[in-house]
Amino acid sequence: MSAGELSSFSKMSVFGPVVKIHPVVLASICDSYERRNEGASRVIGTLLGTIDKHSIEVTNCFSVPHNESEDEVAVDMEFAKNMYELHKRVSPTEVIIGWYATGFDITEHSVLIHEYYSREASNPIHLTVDSALQSGKMNIRAYVSAQMGVPGKTVGVMFTPLSVKYVYYDTERIGVDLLQRTRVTPSRTKGLTSDLSQVAGSAARVQDMLTTVLAYIEDVLSGKVTADNSVGRFLMDLVNKVPTISAEDFENMLNSNINDLLMVTYLSNLTQAQIALNEKLVLL
Amino acid sequence: MASRKESSSVSSTAMASTGGTLDSPVKQIQIEGLVVLKIIKHYQEEGQGSEVVQGVLLGLVVDDRLEITNCFPFPQHTEDDADFDEVQYQMEMMRSLRHVNIDHLHVGWYQSTYYGSFVSRALLDSQFSYQHAIEESVVLIYGFLLFFSHLFPILDPIKTAQGSLSLKAYRLTPKLMEICKEKDFTPEGLKKANIGFEHMFEEVPIVIKNSHLISVLMWELEDKSTVADKHELLNLSSSNHLEKSLQLLMDRVDDMSQDIVKYNTYSRNLSKQQQQKHQYLQRRQQENAQRQSRGEPPLPEEDITKMFKPPQPPPRMDTLLIAGQINNYCQNVKEFTSQNLGKLFMAEALQGHN
């Protein structure tokens, strides 16, 4: 596999199952790369997850200590087995589906390690994360091994790439968004925001999106950009989604909602005052 | 929770140099993004609908900050698992993590909650045992607020699904630590310490920090991932969540009122008994005076304490906990309503323009 093929990977159509990765896995990999031992140029570890008919979902991982030198590679498989047992106790649905390595290329050692893992899982996948940023960005790729060569004579192993997608649970999405905000501040820290400011933030985001859409429409109207029918249909949907309610009905709904909320606030304040009073009385 | 106490004391003695000698309490908590993601994932996979999901926090203390760099989840308590498993699991995990250079200092634990109901006896006990062994430990509570879309950090998964990460870190105040140490939960004991429900837990501010590499990862993810529907935060429907919270609040208030009734009967009994003692003493004295005037030997003073057994004072710790919990619910409800009011006014403004 030449480097040229690898770089045009994203445009190739690949067959085989899709690999869905959760951000937790990538964060773990980066973290274990940062904590690697002196002199180790890369880190390897096991991937855990679930296998579906069409896709493989990677939900967890842990790093495995290993030693790599020019001629040989030693992986602590005992450790890997132990960790897997421990993890299985927490989430019994996860199985070993492959392994990961940081670094840009696939070396001969990878083949050996891949063989180890073939004993643990059927058809394991191999994930490479370029955390040294050799190619300017962090490339994340997945491979499956396939036999190649002349049967009976020289047989080799080829790593065929798979397409990688990132999936999130809803809550994960929020967590990732929060982390995204940390990359803006110079000290890379961020406090957790209070509630009303979050609503404001959300509203600001919607506003931004609306401005983008408006700008696009202006362009189309003035003829700068050719109109795209599918976008037009989406816009139509958007406009039709705003429900037409008579002003009175809306007033009523709004008022009753506001009244509910105010009442609840009043009641909770009352309760708090009550228990505070109770405290004072008891402590008399 | 006794097993946790043993294990935490083992770990603290193993690294006595770092944890034990700090005087200043922790003023801020710094969490790595990785920990947040892990906690979220753990809840999502294991805790759907069921009770709490727990795990251990690892990290170290730097100046006045508690840095949490990693965590691992605890398996759920199944019926036939012995406690023995917990300690062993924890030891194994920490040993293995040490091999891959992950901080293995045990600095706290995390727990998810249901609608913010986390102030319970069990929590108090475990946090006490942790904090007793490790000065700076905190509890992280990841509480839940909604279904659909809070040293121990409490994470709020429901609220997170709704669009905002709710993570809070708490530790017991020194006053409460003292009380737990002496196990003196009578009203007199609490009065001495002058503790109110507001002084039970103190919240520690949380800050999220990411390393540079993770920042690079974030850029990469932003590139590749699709724009998901992240605007559930602006959803106007609030009644479901509100109902649930209010229901829990009502239950707690009921508990509280029962407790109060118990306390009232106790104090009434106590005062009645005091009166009876007083009366008895007076009668005795009168009789003795009469007998003396008649020249007979006075009746022996009987031991009044044996005659009037003082009623058992009810333990006040539960009341305190309930009060704290009610307070928490009220806070949550108020936050929620303020958010919703904002949203409603926004909707009004939008509709007004039509």
DSSP for B116-183, please give it.
Answer: T----HHHHHHHHHHHHHSTT-EEEEEEE--S----EEEEEHHHHHHTS-EEEEEEE-HHHHHHHHHT
Amino acid at A115: E
The domain boundary residue, chosen from A152, A170, A188: A170
Closest CB from A23, A189, A276 relative to B209: A189
Distance from CA of B116 to the nearest CA of A (A): 15
Residue A194, domain member (yes or no): no
pLDDT of residue B232 exceeding 70, the answer is no
Closest CB from A90, A131, A198 relative to B164: A198
Give kind and range of the element (H or E) at residue B92.
helix B83-99
Q: Are residues A77 and A213 in the same domain?
A: no
Per the CB < 8 A criterion, the answer to whether A99 and A127 are in contact is: yes
Q: What is the pLDDT of residue B198?
A: 67
Q: Which residues on chain A are in Cβ contact (under 8 Å) with B99? A: 65, 76, 79
Q: Which residues on chain A are in Cβ contact (under 8 Å) with B347? A: 254
Query: B344 and A261: CB-CB below 8 Å?
Result: yes
Q: In whole angstroms, what is the distance from residue B156 CA to residue B332 CA? A: 11
Distance from CA of B110 to the nearest CA of A (A): 15
Q: Is B34 helix (H, G, I), strand (E, B) or coil?
A: helix
Query: B231 and A202: CB-CB below 8 Å?
Result: yes
Q: In whole angstroms, what is the distance from residue B131 CA to residue A65 CA? A: 33
Residue B17 pLDDT grade (very low, low, confident, very high; cuts 50, 70, 90):
very low
Q: Which residues contact B94 (CB under 8 A, 6 or more apart)?
A: B11, B58, B104, B106
Q: Is A127 helix (H, G, I), strand (E, B) or coil?
A: strand
Q: Are residues A92 and A214 in the same domain?
A: no
Q: Which residue has the higher pLDDT, A269 or B7?
A: A269
Chain CA centroid to CA B104, Å:
24
CATH code for the domain of A87: 3.40.140.10
Q: Which of A63, A90, A171, A249 to mutate to test the interface with B (most CBs of B within 10 A)?
A: A171
- Residue with token string 């008891």: A282
Give kind and range of the element (H or E) at residue A164.
strand A164-166
Please spell the DSSP secondary structure of A32-72, one letter per residue. Answer: HHHTPPTT----EEEEEEEE-SSEEEEEEEEEE-EEE-SS-
Q: Are residues A112 and A228 in the same domain?
A: no
Query: B221 and A272: CB-CB below 8 Å?
Result: no
**What is the pTM for the complete model shown?**
0.72
Closest CB from B76, B217, B228 relative to A138: B217
Residue A83, domain member (yes or no): yes
CA-nearest residue of chain B to A267? B330
Q: Which residues contact B1 (CB under 8 A, 6 or more apart)?
A: B122, B125, B126, B129
The CB density around residue B105, as the number of other CB atoms within 10 Å, is 20
Query: A168 and B225: CB-CB below 8 Å?
Result: yes
Q: Are residues A77 and A207 in the same domain?
A: no
Closest CB from A22, A83, A190 relative to B208: A190
Cα angle B131, B249, B44 (rounded to 5 degrees) comes to: 60
Q: Are residues A206 and A164 in the same domain?
A: no
Residue A68, domain member (yes or no): yes
Residue A260, domain member (yes or no): no
CA-nearest residue of chain B to A38? B101
CA-nearest residue of chain A to B337? A261
Q: Which residues on chain B are in Cβ contact (under 8 Å) with A134? A: none
Q: Which residues on chain A are in Cβ contact (under 8 Å) with B32? A: 31
Q: Which residues on chain A are in Cβ contact (under 8 Å) with B76? A: 90
| Three-state DSSP string of B131-145 | HHHCCCCEEEEEEEC
Instruction: Give per-residue pLDDT as tens, A35-65.
Output: 777 767 778 888 888 887 777 888 888 888 8
Instruction: Give per-residue pLDDT as tens, B42-78.
Output: 777 765 555 567 777 888 777 777 788 888 887 766 5
Distance from CA of A106 to the nearest CA of B (A): 21
- No. of H helices and E strands in chain A? 8, 11
User: B137, B153, B135: which is closest to B208 by C-alpha?
Assistant: B153
Distance from CA of B300 to the nearest CA of A (A): 37
DSSP A260: H
User: B104, B135, B133, B109: which is closest to B122 by C-alpha?
Assistant: B109
Closest CB from B236, B238, B339 relative to A195: B339
DSSP B313: P
Closest CB from B166, B219, B333 relative to A264: B333
Q: What is the pLDDT of residue B114?
A: 65
The domain boundary residue, chosen from A170, A193, A222: A170
| Helical axes B121-133 vs B174-182, angle rounded to 10° | 100
Q: In whole angstroms, what is the distance from residue A110 CA to residue A159 CA? A: 10
The domain boundary residue, chosen from A123, A153, A170: A170
Range of the domain at A227: 201-245
Determine what percent of chain B is predicted with pLDDT higher than 70.
Answer: 52
Q: Which of B78, B200, B214 to mutate to test the interface with A (most CBs of A within 10 A)?
A: B214
Q: Which residues on chain B are in Cβ contact (under 8 Å) with A22? A: 41
Per the CB < 8 A criterion, the answer to whether B341 and B212 are in contact is: no
Report residue B57 as tokens. Answer: 């926090």
* Beta strand residue intervals within A8-163, DSSP E: 18-21, 44-51, 55-64, 66-68, 73-75, 95-102, 125-129, 140-149, 155-162
Q: Are residues A83 and A133 in the same domain?
A: yes
Q: Are residues A208 and A164 in the same domain?
A: no
Instruction: Give per-residue pLDDT as tens, B129-173.
Output: 666 665 555 666 554 322 222 234 455 555 544 455 567 777 777
For CA atoms B15, B18, B22, B25, the dihedral sign is: negative
Distance from CA of B299 to the nearest CA of A (A): 39
Q: Are residues A89 and A221 in the same domain?
A: no
Q: In whole angstroms, what is the distance from residue A167 CA to residue A183 CA? A: 21
Residue B24 pLDDT grade (very low, low, confident, very high; cuts 50, 70, 90):
very low
Q: Which residues on chain A are in Cβ contact (under 8 Å) with B46? A: 90-91
Q: In whole angstroms, what is the distance from residue B242 CA to residue B222 CA? A: 34
Q: If you count residue pairs, one on A and one on B, with CB atoms under 8 Å apart, how many are there? A: 262
Q: Which residues contact A205 (CB under 8 A, 6 or more apart)?
A: B230, B231
The CB density around residue A59, as the number of other CB atoms within 10 Å, is 22
Q: Are residues A23 and A141 in the same domain?
A: yes
Residue A236, domain member (yes or no): yes
Q: What is the pLDDT of residue B136?
A: 56
Residues of chain A predicted below pLDDT 70: 1-16, 39, 70, 104, 131-138, 151-155, 170-171, 174, 178, 181-199, 283-284
Residue B128 pLDDT grade (very low, low, confident, very high; cuts 50, 70, 90):
low
Q: Are residues A217 and A159 in the same domain?
A: no
Query: B89 and A22: CB-CB below 8 Å?
Result: no
Instruction: Give per-residue pLDDT as tens, B201-223.
Output: 777 777 777 777 777 777 777 76
Q: Are residues A79 and A37 in the same domain?
A: yes
Query: A26 and B221: CB-CB below 8 Å?
Result: yes
Query: A182 and B210: CB-CB below 8 Å?
Result: yes
Closest CB from B30, B76, B326 relative to A275: B326
Q: What is the pLDDT of residue A8?
A: 37
How many domains does chain A fold into? Answer: 2
Query: B246 and A264: CB-CB below 8 Å?
Result: yes
Residue A48, domain member (yes or no): yes
Residue A6, domain member (yes or no): no
Q: Which residues on chain A are in Cβ contact (under 8 Å) with B351? A: 245, 247, 250
Closest CB from B34, B210, B347 relative to A28: B34
Q: Which residues on chain A are in Cβ contact (under 8 Å) with B323? A: 275, 278-279
Residue A212, domain member (yes or no): yes
Q: In whole angstroms, what is the distance from residue A113 CA to residue A99 CA? A: 9
pLDDT of residue B8 exceeding 50, the answer is no
Instruction: Provide the mean pLDDT of chain B.
Output: 67
Expressed in angstroms, the distance from the first to the final Cα of chain A is: 82
* Beta strand residue intervals within chain B, DSSP E: 28-32, 54-62, 65-73, 106-114, 138-144, 152-156, 166-172, 201-204, 206-209
Closest CB from A32, A188, A203 relative to B346: A203
Closest CB from B191, B198, B339 relative to A199: B339
Q: In whole angstroms, what is the distance from residue B152 CA to residue B203 CA? A: 9
Q: What is the pLDDT of residue B14?
A: 33
Q: Are residues A123 and A74 in the same domain?
A: yes
Q: Which residues on chain B are in Cβ contact (under 8 Å) with A275? A: 197, 256, 323, 326-327
Distance from CA of A210 to the nearest CA of B (A): 13
Q: Which residues on chain B are in Cβ contact (under 8 Å) with A260? A: 239, 242
CA-nearest residue of chain A to B231? A202
CA-CA-CA-CA torsion for B146, B147, B149, B150, nearest 10 degrees?
40
Closest CB from B260, B329, B344 relative to A257: B344
